[in-house]
Structure 1
Amino acid sequence: MNPAEIVWNFPGGATAFGIAAGAALVLAALLYCFTLRKLKLRQRLLLGALRLALLLALLALLGNPRREEIREYVNEKTVRLGVVFDVSSSMCANGLLGSSRLADSLRQFEEAARPEGKVEYRYFTIGERLEPAASAESIRPLAGAPSKRTVFTNLLDSLRDGAALFDSQNLDAVVVFTDGVDTSDAQPAPALSALAGSRPQYRIVPAVTELAMHKFLEFRKVEAPARAVQNATVPVDIAASYSNLTGSDKVELAITDDRGNELFRAEGKRNGAGGGMMFRAELTMDAPGLRRYTAALLLNGRKHRETVWCLETVKRNRKRILLYQGTHDWAARFLKNAVASENRSELEVRRFNAELPNNNFPSDRELAEYDVVILLNLNRKQCVGGLEKSLHEYLKAGGGVIFVTGNPVIAGEYANSPLEMLLPVEFSPNLNRSDRKHALTSQFRREIRNYHRGVNGGAEQRFLRAQEFSYKPTRLKEFTLTPAGEAGPMFRLPGGGEIRPGFLDCAKVDAVKPGAQALAFYKDEKGAEHIILAVQRFGRGRSVVLATDPLWRWKLSLPSDRRDSEIFWENLLSFAGDAGKLGDQPWTLGESQPVAGKPLKLRLSQPEVPADCTVSCEKESWSLTFQPVSGKAGLWESSFTPARPGIYRLRSGDGAVRDFTVAADRGNRELDAPAPNLFLLRQFGALDNCRVLAPAEKLDLSDFTALKGETLTERIVRPLWPTGTLLALLLALYCCELILRRIFKLV
């Protein structure tokens, strides 16, 4: 409450009051300056002073004199504070010093929970889900005893669902005690979005008590096709996760087939004591039939984990290839002969023609019949009529596209275009029109100019005439292979040896896109490297860029008995065309690593109702019953609980097969990676309504518990002029004046 103040407001302000006071002084002086009875000076001054005092008092009353004071009242509010404790196994297990992370969190909360106002606490726990708790004392028995029922921590999804619960309970703030370990494979984005949109303020307190660690190594995912054509090279991507490994630990991946042959072995690249690693293997499908493959994770030379899958190899069919060119090109004849010589493919040549429907490019239905589409010297203006959109869908469905041009201007036209989005490279948009001149044309024009400048006849004339009909082949530039090109099959001869194509013209490539592979480049006179062959997967298909001429000059430069050109084109067409033969796996497992004794969701993708579907292990077999997945046509779901560890086989009625490994229940996965995940927690610190404490920072709840309600302000005004004291003062002045007038015999 502020101290009381006396306030008055005269009409017109201080200036008006001064004028009025002066007028009162003049009036008082005139009243007793001229009287019927002569008065002494002292008498006049006394009467004038009384009259002036009365007039000034009346003027003061016109200013509304009053006493004002302001009072503030605080509307006391009960602060609702949510307290969330992570009670997962990594929080409950005792640390190296004997205390668990949960016990340390409870002690830290008790030290900070000294309320300065009205505080109402609401308690919650996080394990597999967010659950309410009666009090902090009810949570204490969990400290030091890891819960056997909690095999994973669903931290992120619990916080995501808790945001709506915290809002519904009108919580002002929420404090979360957790170590950030989440073993549910959930993504942080939904939880971050939910907390950012909720009303409470959040404090996240990291629990960093050090726990005893043991080495952890596990498969996370195996991505392999279900089918492949014979002699094709199939990519297999395998992801693994690890933690608590030392620098001297060696992790390897070995892949063997069902005959016991080791097909692949590589050492994993690790970054730190925990994280993930990726392996990519290229397997060659030799004989038709169903084959089982086994991948084993080796830790320091000993088998640590194992998983299996199967892949069906089918016989190679004759490929259909479309060559679509912008203009008539000499290379079309050589490509047709190269394809015909292998007798494995048939090539159809089409040329851009604006007068024909769709510019003579196949319709979507016709396009699906081709295994590979070669775009040869096709400029940007000729990519009209939905060609780029058709190629996009064609690649996604498993087709192969080979883009061939050695013209830098044509390549530059495709920079930042929809077609470039399908290709593995980014073309240079910086065009130089002089680059469009053919190298041989430039050389011919240069020789003509030199002839007219310096040759006039005589011996020189006879020498030139002798040289007119002599052939001078231009020296070709040679491919330089990258490590990926040397390791792959594209530049290999069947009997051993290496293919090194030559070219004359090349287009400028700015960069290879992420995920793509450069297979070949060449060095110019200045030593700069220019990518000329790159590949990538796009959807189920593959796209290739050959940024040179179509290599027909290289064919002419080879001896007649050499078939390097034909073999190179056959390898290139097989690489691009075999991608579409890799069938999708119709079976999908709900868990990347199934565990014995736990339900496993199975999904099967096929247009009709699944029938005669079974799952088997050794000599036992079980039938499966499927239900349609809501909102997804052609997708069916079932459930199966494997009773014991082993290798299981799924088989559908139409013969689709998938093998998978069921591991023994290793207990609590939570303790496989017990290190606090501070990286995950720091992501929450980027939110406006959330703050993550540093590991050594002490928790302070005063900014929450000291929250007050609304502050109400009251203004109290007490007028002074209607009081009896002021009225008595005025009457006293007036009576004194009347008495003195009587005494001085003025009346």
Structure 2
Amino acid sequence: MNHTLVSTWEFGGPLAGLSPAVAWTLLALAALLGVAFAWFSYRHTPRVLTRSRRVFLITLRTIFLVTLLLCLANPVRVARSTFQPETHRRLAVVVDRSDSMTAPDNRRRSRLDDALRTWRPLIPAAQAAFSETCFYSFATDLQPAASLEAALARTAATGETHLYQALASLLNAPRGERPDALVVLTDGLDTTGETAAAFTQHALAAGTPVWFVAGANRLRSAPFVRVRELRAPATALRASEFTLDGTFEAFSREARVEKFSLWRGAARIAGGELPLNAGYNVIPWSTPIATGEPGDLELVLRFGDTADAPAAARSATRVVARNTIRVLFYQGALDWGFRYLIDALKTDPSFELTSMLNPALNVTLSRGSRAGGAIGRLPANVRGLEAYDFVVLAHVFPAQLDDAQQQALLEFTRAGGGVLFTSPDPEALPQFDGHPLGELLPVVFTTTDHRAEDDDIPTTDADGQPLSPRKIQLLMVERAARRARQSLDNTAGSAKHTLTPFMLTAAGRASPVFAKAGAADADDRLAPRFVDYATVSLAKPGAEVLAVHPTALDPETRQPRILLATQTFGRGRTALLTTDGLWRWKLSQPSAQREVETFWQQLMLWLGQGREHGVRFVNAPAQVPVNDTVTVRLSGLAPILRPEIRAIAPDGRTTVIIAQATSDPESPWEFSWKPALPGAWELNVSAAGAPPVRIFPFATSQPTGELAQVPPALDTLRALAATTGGTLLTTEPPSAWRAAKDAPTTLLGERRQPRWDVWPVLLTAFCAYALELILRRRWKLL
């Protein structure tokens, strides 16, 4: 806040209520009249006076009259101490430089030109309301700019509009770097498929109002619906399942539905209806696909219900015969479930198991499932994890893994791997908050998820010296082992520790994880049973809960406690099991029964089957404009292994394309392709030691993406602005800017000093009057 000391004057009598300048002016005029009256009084006297005596008497009377006027005016010197809230506010002006904003119409005017015509007259009001203005431009990414002209001069990477991602990156900045308000010049189009919900949450959490300046011109598109992207893995394992992801793009003049269907040869395997709103629509869609036997799996997406409906997009996946899933099993603390889980995987030839124990346990594994089946340390880089399809972290504390190991697991999952967390410890899981591995957990933790323990882990010794990380790990392991022994003793000696069955959600009943072989009833599913569990009740947005506790509820949210949840992370998948290792369930069953093993094997198969091997398309466009150059990136290849690429045109002609090396280790090769003919193309990529992969983009002569000429999303912008506390700007500055400029001032204190009843003024008036009377008598003027 700003503290200020302000001094002013106040007057009484006939001058009360007037401003100090006016009051002093009137007082000065009255003093001049007093001087004139004094001069007139001594212009003619009964006796002749010398000039000096006359001037002296005029001066004395003038002094008396002025002091008398001063007393009648009652001037008071007022000193006020005030404070005003800090007015340093930062405005970010964000300019959309995507192709849809810069494409000219028949008058050679773009939407950006229209937005600037609205914004430029508002710049003085913005400068008055905000003490600092910074500038950014965005299209595919957000870039800072030194000025508005510099933001307008951006020309690179404008083929897509990442509106919500760009604004969210500003709102997620640290408090000192985050702007206090946003002004966004845009047409409201976002070509990434993201919705406005996530951006709205960021804006509300940051408390940042957003004002939009919409741009429009005469470009208009005919209604259309098409597939922007259809993503399928290049390879998949036999007898497994993968997710086919698609993104639909449409423009409609009215609300309606569009039917579509997915075909595998002559068999319709999926379909549905797209709900189209009036205006521009970007709709994501996904469906599970069963792979079946080895071979080429081609899928065709059609707009319509019949097999002769026009094809909109195609995909191809090579189903490979490799039926071994490579598992890395890391046990952070010993518990009784370790043995049974390991045995469940070792008895199934589908798994190639590599296991290790936390080094702090000082325990050596006697055997593995294969030669070299035990390692000493969890890899600290992605390259060390590439030999596995997924990783199991059993009863792990975040302190047991350093930042490099956690970051390696993060990148491993983002690239397509899987991670399974298992822990019944109510303290271990919440500790992942703030660590890299916390991003992989499909749940968030509330205050009721943290249980206080009497035996908290100390961080210092008896002398107050900090314990080493290894010592803290050992204490954690000892506590976990102690709990496991207590749990076993309680189970053996008390009947109250009964087995509790999982309650499956709708997603769990449909999942292959709980399928029961040979069940006559489709609703007959596996029902794992447990005793110990960690209290978690809130799933992350986008996560899928497969099983919950049948009776336990969170006291705050009133939601059932989560037992098994999954989420997609990048191209990979993660899962969390909050129960014990289900070993009591195994002990309660006859020795010949295999339900526990079946559950573990099906869970691991489901987690590990999504990892792709061989060549992969990093970006696979479903539709491309004719004569437009597209850069396609490839991954899954060594930088020294140049792939062979062939483009097959709709008329059957084949063109060989030369791949170029890149500096990106995640996608070491790329190639440029420019379709010359409209229709269905095939891009075939092959490399030594890897099966060939294909995509089937459609080349169209109609504008797509940024150049689709869809109208501005004015209703969306207006709703977003209202939600965040802003408006859609027109010709007048918003009232919030004027309020910010006129911040209220609070009075801290006031000191008043009257200037008329002080003794120098009164003494001066008395002396002047008395001296004048004495001199008049002495000079015989009375």
Shorter-chain TM-score above 0.5: yes
Higher mean C-alpha deviation, range 383-392 or range 507-516: 383-392
2:671 and 2:114 mapped to 1: Cα distance?
28
| Aligned equivalent of 1:644 | 678
Match of 1:595 among 625, 634, 648: 625
Structure 1 segment 114-153 matched on structure 2, within 5 A: 125-126=109-110
| Aligned equivalent of 1:510 | 537
| Aligned equivalent of 2:299 | 293
| Aligned equivalent of 2:653 | 620
Q: Could you tell me how far 1:268 is from its partner in structure 2?
A: 3.4
Alignment pair present for 1:407 and 2:415: no
Query: Could you tell me which amino acid in structure 1 is paired with residue 680 of structure 2?
Result: G
Q: Count the aligned residue pairs.
A: 559
| Aligned equivalent of 1:661 | 697
Q: Does the Cα contact within 8 Å between 1:326 and 1:351 map onto a contact in 2?
A: yes
2:584 and 2:454 mapped to 1: Cα distance?
22
1:246 and 1:168 mapped to 2: Cα distance?
39
Alignment pair present for 1:363 and 2:374: no
Q: Deviations over 1:94-117 (max 9, x none)?
A: xxxxxxxx8xxxxxxxxxxxxxxx
| Aligned equivalent of 2:368 | none
Q: Could you tell me how far 1:161 is from its partner in structure 2?
A: 12
1:298 and 1:239 mapped to 2: Cα distance?
17
1:603 and 1:349 mapped to 2: Cα distance?
35
| 1:581 partner SS | coil
| 1:506 partner SS | coil
Q: Does the Cα contact within 8 Å between 1:613 and 1:650 map onto a contact in 2?
A: yes
Q: Could you tell me how far 1:307 is from its partner in structure 2?
A: 0.5
| 1:339 partner SS | helix
Alignment pair present for 1:255 and 2:285: no
| Aligned equivalent of 1:548 | 579
Structure 1 segment 307-322 matched on structure 2, within 5 A: 307-322=313-328
Q: Could you tell me how far 1:315 is from its partner in structure 2?
A: 1.9
1:14 and 1:46 mapped to 2: Cα distance?
27
Distance change (3 Å), C-alpha of 1:550 and 1:296: same
Match of 1:479 among 487, 502, 509: 502
Q: Does the Cα contact within 8 Å between 1:308 and 1:647 map onto a contact in 2?
A: no
1:690 and 1:441 mapped to 2: Cα distance?
65
1:474 and 1:297 mapped to 2: Cα distance?
56
| 1:338 partner SS | helix
Q: Deviations over 1:277-305 (max 9, x none)?
A: 22111112112233322122338999466
Alignment pair present for 1:372 and 2:414: no
| 1:378 partner SS | coil
| Aligned equivalent of 1:572 | 603
1:89 and 1:371 mapped to 2: Cα distance?
45
Instruction: Give unpaired runs (5+ residues) of structure 2.
Output: 1-20, 64-98, 118-136, 153-157, 171-178, 186-210, 365-374, 456-482, 734-782
1:636 and 1:494 mapped to 2: Cα distance?
45
2:183 and 2:249 mapped to 1: Cα distance?
33
Alignment pair present for 1:187 and 2:163: yes
1:558 and 1:631 mapped to 2: Cα distance?
53
Match of 1:264 among 244, 250, 270: 270
1:169 and 1:279 mapped to 2: Cα distance?
35
| Aligned equivalent of 2:515 | 492
1:592 and 1:672 mapped to 2: Cα distance?
19
Higher mean C-alpha deviation, range 619-628 or range 44-53: 44-53
Distance change (3 Å), C-alpha of 1:422 and 1:692: same
Q: Could you tell me how far 1:499 is from its partner in structure 2?
A: 1.5
Q: Deviations over 1:442-467 (max 9, x none)?
A: 5777x7xxxxxxxxxxxxxxxxxxxx
Q: Does the Cα contact within 8 Å between 1:405 and 1:548 map onto a contact in 2?
A: yes
Distance change (3 Å), C-alpha of 1:59 and 1:570: same
Distance change (3 Å), C-alpha of 1:620 and 1:653: farther
1:87 and 1:229 mapped to 2: Cα distance?
41
Match of 2:242 among 221, 224, 234: 234
Higher mean C-alpha deviation, range 214-223 or range 540-549: 214-223
Query: Could you tell me which amino acid in structure 2 is paired with residue 488 of structure 1?
Result: S
1:203 and 1:422 mapped to 2: Cα distance?
35
| Aligned equivalent of 1:693 | 730
Query: Could you tell me which amino acid in structure 2 is paired with residue 311 of structure 1?
Result: T
Instruction: Give unpaired runs (5+ residues) of structure 1.
Output: 30-41, 63-85, 94-101, 103-123, 134-154, 171-181, 448-471, 699-747
1:348 and 1:232 mapped to 2: Cα distance?
22
Q: Could you tell me how far 1:431 is from its partner in structure 2?
A: 0.6
| 2:526 partner SS | coil
1:630 and 1:292 mapped to 2: Cα distance?
32
Q: Deviations over 1:680-703 (max 9, x none)?
A: 478799999997228xx99xxxxx
Q: Does the Cα contact within 8 Å between 2:678 and 2:701 map onto a contact in 1?
A: no
Query: Could you tell me which amino acid in structure 2 is paired with residue 511 of structure 1?
Result: L
| Aligned equivalent of 1:711 | none
Q: Deviations over 1:225-267 (max 9, x none)?
A: 21112222111111112332655x433332222x322222233
| 2:700 partner SS | coil
| Aligned equivalent of 1:119 | none
Question: Over aligned residue pairs, what C-alpha RMSD do you find?
Answer: 5.6
| 2:584 partner SS | helix
Query: Could you tell me which amino acid in structure 2 is paired with residue 677 of structure 1?
Result: L
1:162 and 1:410 mapped to 2: Cα distance?
41
Distance change (3 Å), C-alpha of 1:432 and 1:186: closer
Q: Does the Cα contact within 8 Å between 1:196 and 1:687 map onto a contact in 2?
A: no
Q: Deviations over 1:159-181 (max 9, x none)?
A: x99998974899xxxxxxxxxxx
Distance change (3 Å), C-alpha of 1:561 and 1:189: closer
Alignment pair present for 1:423 and 2:462: no
Higher mean C-alpha deviation, range 190-199 or range 487-496: 190-199
Query: Could you tell me which amino acid in structure 1 is paired with residue 569 of structure 2?
Result: F
2:311 and 2:348 mapped to 1: Cα distance?
44
Query: Could you tell me which amino acid in structure 2 is paired with residue 126 of structure 1?
Result: S
Q: Does the Cα contact within 8 Å between 1:501 and 1:565 map onto a contact in 2?
A: yes
Q: Could you tell me how far 1:521 is from its partner in structure 2?
A: 1.0
Calculate the TM-score normalised by the size of structure 1.
0.60
1:630 and 1:263 mapped to 2: Cα distance?
41
1:330 and 1:343 mapped to 2: Cα distance?
24
2:347 and 2:150 mapped to 1: Cα distance?
75
Q: Does the Cα contact within 8 Å between 1:595 and 1:665 map onto a contact in 2?
A: yes
Structure 1 segment 714-729 matched on structure 2, within 5 A: none
1:659 and 1:626 mapped to 2: Cα distance?
16
